[in-house]
Every structure is written in C-alpha cells, then in structure tokens.
Amino acid sequence: MVDPITVEVVRCCLEYTAEEMGIALRNAAYSPNIKERMDHSCAIFDAEGRLLAQAEHIPVHLGSMAWAIKKILEHLRSRGAELQPNDVIAVNDPFLAGTHLNDIIMIKPVFNEGNVVAYVANRAHHVDVGGMVPGSISAHAVEVHQEGIIIPPIKIVEDGVFKDDVLRMWLRNV
C-alpha cells in the first residue's frame, strides 16, 4: 500500500509535467491557435492508455483525450504496430479520436529498460487541414472528407527522425 503523501507527490509531479508540456508546445508553436489562444491539451497516460494526468487547457479536450488515446492505442495494437523509443504517432481521425479534423493528436511512448511505461500526448487545433474553405470548417460540408485530410494513426517520426514521405503527403493535402 502506498501512503497518501507519496500518492499526492506523484500526482502533483505528473500534473506539473503535463502543464510543462503545454508550455513547451506553446513556446515552439507558430500558430496563434496554439501560441495565443492556447487551443491545445497535454496529458500523460500509463502503458495501457489510462489517463494519469492532464493539464488544465481546453475544456473540450479534457473529456475526450482519455477516451481517444485508449482507442488509438487499441487500434495500433490490433494491427500489430510496435512503437519504439523516439517514435511519434499523429492522428486526427474523428471516428477514432473523437473531435474534429483540425484537432491533431501526437502520441509518444515513454520507455524504461526496453518496455513502454507511459505515453505522453498532446491535442492541438490546427488552423487548416485542407478542407473546402479556409480554416477547413464549413457549414456547407455534407461529409467529413470536405473538412480536410483524415489522418489515421501513422508514425510521423520514427526513431527520432521525421518521416519525410508522410510529412510531404500531409503537407500536399492542406
């Protein structure tokens, strides 16, 4: 049994880490949606995809991140995908990730002694994902494909290196 003081110290450290992830994301961002409006969320999950800590960012993300990460990890496992240290997965599929195409999730596994012990993730609103109107959100869209590119869970970074072919495909569609 872990004592309550240790539990509280670990909880605070995890929440602080998630908040720091958000600060790093904002500092690195070019988009005013992320940098100024702070339309993003950051969280830490255990090896099974269960939410451990989430920063207090955008409320709409707070309820959907825990569900989305778990579903994305189940999807990857069902297809035999194996993540390695320094891999990053990108996804915005609303049927899997739970919001709209402009909200793109990035997931990175955290390893210890060769085993995944956690995942860190962020969801950030991107200005345009290639929809039929600037900003990608149109009241005239009758199907999701009119709102922009749908990104299934895909490695955008493998072993710490951006996958140029994936990045080029993505950028050609937005």
| CATH number of the domain enclosing 14 | 3.30.450
pLDDT of residue 79: 94
pLDDT of residue 173: 85
pLDDT of residue 15: 95
- Residue range 119-143, pLDDT digits in tens: 999 999 998 998 889 888 888 999 9
pLDDT of residue 174: 80
Range of the domain at 97: 4-172
Give the bridge partners for 154, in sequence order.
Answer: 90
pLDDT of residue 136: 87
pLDDT of residue 171: 86
Based on its alpha-carbon atoms, the radius of gyration of the chain, rounded to whole angstroms, reads 17
Coil/strand/helix, residue 163: coil
Rounded distance between C-alpha atoms, residue 134 and residue 64, angstroms: 25
Number of domains into which the chain is organized: 1
Among residues 167, 168, 149, 170, the alpha carbon closest in space to that of 158 is found at: 167
Positions of the chain with pLDDT lower than 70, given as ranges: none
pLDDT of residue 158: 96
Among residues 169, 141, 174, 140, the alpha carbon closest in space to that of 155 is found at: 169
pLDDT of residue 97: 86
pLDDT of residue 68: 93
Among residues 98, 118, 97, 96, the alpha carbon closest in space to that of 109 is found at: 118
